Amino acid sequence: GAVVSQHPSWVICKSGTSVKIECRSLDFQATTMFWYRQFPKQSLMLMATSNEGSKATYEQGVEKDKFLINHASLTLSTLTVTSAHPEDSSFYICSARERGQGKNYGYTFGSGTRLTVV
């Protein structure tokens, strides 16, 4: 089945630094990739929708200058958390659906990145 590879799995960084998270669709083309954030004991909240070759669409309340998204190819999307602060510590996860799949097919998720900012 479709696989989305997400790296890194976990990262600890100092406050003020930037962290890049990558998601690659390994065996399919992902025109659209979604980026989510999940705080402990809460559900996944959509941060932004990334479309190959165009600007990402951010959800209300998500700072686009802080969470930079790049979707330069049909198999790679990146999320960069700039000037990270402890409140950005969370579980970040991407998901994608294979191009051409029907609406009831469901989405494939990356394995997630646990970010801790100290």
Partner 1 sequence: RKEVEQDPGPFNVPEGATVAFNCTYSNSASQSFFWYRQDCRKEPKLLMSVYSSGNEDGRFTAQLNRASQYISLLIRDSKLSDSATYLCVVTPWTGKLIFGQGTTLQVKP
- Lay out the site mask for partner 1 across 3-42 (x = CB under 8 A, - = otherwise): -----------------------------x-x-x-----x
Give CA–CA dist 45/116, Å, rounded. 18
Which of 12, 16, 39, 106 binds partner 1 (CB under 8 A)? It is 106
Which of 14, 43, 87, 118 binds partner 1 (CB under 8 A)? It is 43
**Which listed range, 12-20, 62-70, 71-79, 107-115, lies at the site for partner 1 (CB under 8 A)?**
107-115
- Site residue total, partner 1 (CB under 8 A): 24
Q: How far is the CB of 16 from partner 1 (least distance, A)?
A: 26
Give CA–CA dist 82/67, Å, rounded. 6
Q: Got the DSSP string for 78-115?
A: EEEE-S--GGG-EEEEEEE--TT--TTS--EE---EEE
Count the Cβ atoms, other than its own, within 10 Å of residue 68: 16
Give CA–CA dist 20/79, Å, rounded. 6
Under the rule (CB under 8 A), what is the footprint of partner 1? 32, 34, 36, 42-46, 49, 91, 93, 95, 97, 103-112, 114
